[in-house]
């Protein structure tokens, strides 16, 4: 591993979902940082690569105003990470799907110190990611079906999440249809993080939603500690 994944709530900031809810995506970046979320992953599947690059550079600029800001991760696009860095933006990593650039190639291009996550829910995908020796964390899901990613695989449920966490020697982040009520069961399943999209991006008050996620995760952590 080359970078440490910040544990806890993790925002997949989908620009389209934000705008459909009437939010400027950059304002949602601010909300996530103010609330104390550990990671912001930028996703703009309905935009061209230039739009994602512009969003990445702008989001990185917003985060320079915070002390200890969230890690900024780009969804899928290693080229966007490289281009944004060439423009002077601080981009911490990339999250890769099974059809994206292989993690080994991403590591060669991005170097050490870059956070690399890989989506892996099937046993063979988990094992393949572990064998690379270059992946920092796994994204497991969808836990439930979600309208924000209609092409996602079949839901794995909390039992499937627990199996990925058991099988993995890397930190696991749960994703897929999750809300604030899922913080404790996700932690009990063995995940170190919980990624959300609509729970913040589509919420009428993104800052309030992000703050409640952070509080719910802290409560779940406290409950887990007292039970051990």
Instruction: Flag whether 42 is marked binding.
Output: yes
23-58 b/e (C-beta count within 10 Å ≥ 16 → b): bebbebbbbbbebbbbbbbbbbeeeeeeebbbbbbb
Instruction: Flag whether 76 is marked binding.
Output: yes
Instruction: Flag whether 41 is marked binding.
Output: yes
Instruction: Flag whether 96 is marked binding.
Output: no
Instruction: Flag whether 100 is marked binding.
Output: yes
Instruction: Flag whether 227 is marked binding.
Output: no
Instruction: Flag whether 147 is marked binding.
Output: yes
Q: Which residues contact 6 (CB under 8 A, 6 or more apart)?
A: 38, 39, 70, 71, 193
Instruction: Flag whether 3 is marked binding.
Output: no
Instruction: Flag whether 222 is marked binding.
Output: no
Would you call 204 exposed, middle or buried from its count of C-beta atoms within 10 A (0-12, 13-18, 19+)?
exposed
CA 118 – CA 87 distance, rounded (Å): 25
Instruction: Flag whether 90 is marked binding.
Output: no
Instruction: Flag whether 81 is marked binding.
Output: no
Instruction: Flag whether 50 is marked binding.
Output: no
Instruction: Flag whether 75 is marked binding.
Output: yes
Specify the 3-state DSSP secondary structure of 227: helix
Specify the 3-state DSSP secondary structure of 158: helix
Instruction: Flag whether 72 is marked binding.
Output: no
Instruction: Flag whether 167 is marked binding.
Output: no
Instruction: Flag whether 226 is marked binding.
Output: no
Q: Provide the annotated binding site for Mg(2+).
A: 76, 100
Residues annotated in a binding site: 41-45, 75-76, 100, 119, 146-149, 177, 197-198
């Amino acid at each position: 591993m080359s970078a440490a994944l910040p544990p806890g709530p993790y925002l997949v900031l989908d620009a389209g979902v934000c705008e459909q809810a009437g939010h400027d995506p950059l304002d949602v970046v601010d909300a996530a940082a103010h609330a104390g979320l550990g990671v912001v992953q930028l996703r703009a599947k309905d935009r061209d690569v230039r739009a994602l690059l512009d969003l990445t550079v702008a989001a990185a600029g917003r985060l320079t105003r915070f002390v200890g800001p969230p890690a900024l991760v780009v969804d899928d696009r290693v080229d966007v990470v490289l281009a944004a860095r060439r423009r002077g933006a601080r981009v911490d990593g990339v999250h890769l799907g099974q059809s994206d650039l292989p993690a080994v190639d991403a590591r060669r291009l991005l170097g050490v110190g870059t956070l690399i996550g890989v989506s892996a829910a099937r046993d063979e995908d988990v094992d393949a990611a572990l064998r690379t020796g270059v992946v920092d964390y796994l994204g497991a899901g969808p836990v439930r079906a979600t309208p924000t990613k209609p092409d996602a695989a079949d839901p794995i449920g909390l039992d499937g999440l627990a199996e990925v966490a058991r099988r993995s020697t890397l930190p696991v982040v749960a994703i897929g249809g999750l809300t604030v009520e899922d913080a404790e069961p996700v932690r009990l399943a063995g995940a170190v993080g919980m990624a959300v999209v609509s729970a913040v991006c589509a919420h009428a008050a993104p800052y309030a939603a992000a703050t409640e996620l952070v509080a719910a995760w802290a409560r779940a952590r406290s409950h887990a500690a007292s039970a051990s």
